[in-house]
Amino acid sequence: MGDRRVAFAVVLCEDQAHATLAIRYLRTRFDLAPRCIRVQQAPPSGGSAEQYVRQRFEKEVLAYRKRANSLALCLLVVTDADTRTVHDRVASLEDEAPRLPTDRVALFVPKRNVETWAVAYAEGGVNEEVDYGPQPAQRIREAADRLAGWDSLGLESIEHALFEATNLDRF
């Protein structure tokens, strides 16, 4: 297949904060234009956002596989671990649709929530069990920039996301 960089991306996520992080990450890391990123976000009043992501995961993985051979495509999934572990949340998605070794599919699972990453990158030392509440979009974008720069801060969930990000480099 040769060396193919990412030209198009699909984001599956729970909310606007996740979408902000994912879009900024993809634009920073792969220099993607906004028109090259399609976002599938849970409806604001549609019940459990985690459940939305989990239930759509299989559909998005199958859609990705149909188009991946003809496009330099990736799928980035962002879902909060909430009070569960990162491993538990990843396992719940993998139960819906196991990934193949060649899939350019990455799972970003912030422990507690994505706002934890925003506070960690902005202020340092955080407790991943604490809910830091809503954060300004600018903080989320800055967190995405630091994540794209491979800055882990030693947090388990960020280190996991950086490991997952290597899936996007597959050809």
Q: Could you report the per-residue pLDDT of 34-54, keeping only the tens digit for each?
A: 999 999 999 988 789 999 999
Is the pLDDT at 3 greater than 90, yes or no?
Answer: no
Q: Could you report the per-residue pLDDT of 106-119, keeping only the tens digit for each?
A: 999 999 999 999 99
Burial category of 62 from C-beta neighbours within 10 Å (exposed 0-12, middle 13-18, buried 19 and up): exposed
Is the pLDDT at 124 greater than 60, yes or no?
Answer: yes
Mean of pLDDT values over 79-100: 96
Is the pLDDT at 171 greater than 80, yes or no?
Answer: no
| 2 band by pLDDT with thresholds 50, 70 and 90 | very low
Amino acid at 13: C
Mean pLDDT, the chain, whole residue set: 93
Contact 141/25 with Cβ under 8 angstroms?
A: no
Mean of pLDDT values over 60-78: 92
- pLDDT at residue 1 in the model: 36
| 70 band by pLDDT with thresholds 50, 70 and 90 | confident
Query: What is the pTM for the complete model shown?
Result: 0.94
Alpha helix (H) ranges present in the chain? 16-30, 49-68, 86-96, 114-123, 137-148, 156-165
Say whether 58 sits in a helix, a strand or coil. helix
CA distance readout (Å), 157 to 6, 49, 128? 24, 19, 9
- pLDDT at residue 139 in the model: 97
Burial category of 100 from C-beta neighbours within 10 Å (exposed 0-12, middle 13-18, buried 19 and up): exposed
**Residue whose structure tokens are 């996740």:** 18
Strands 73-78 and 8-13, how do they pair? parallel
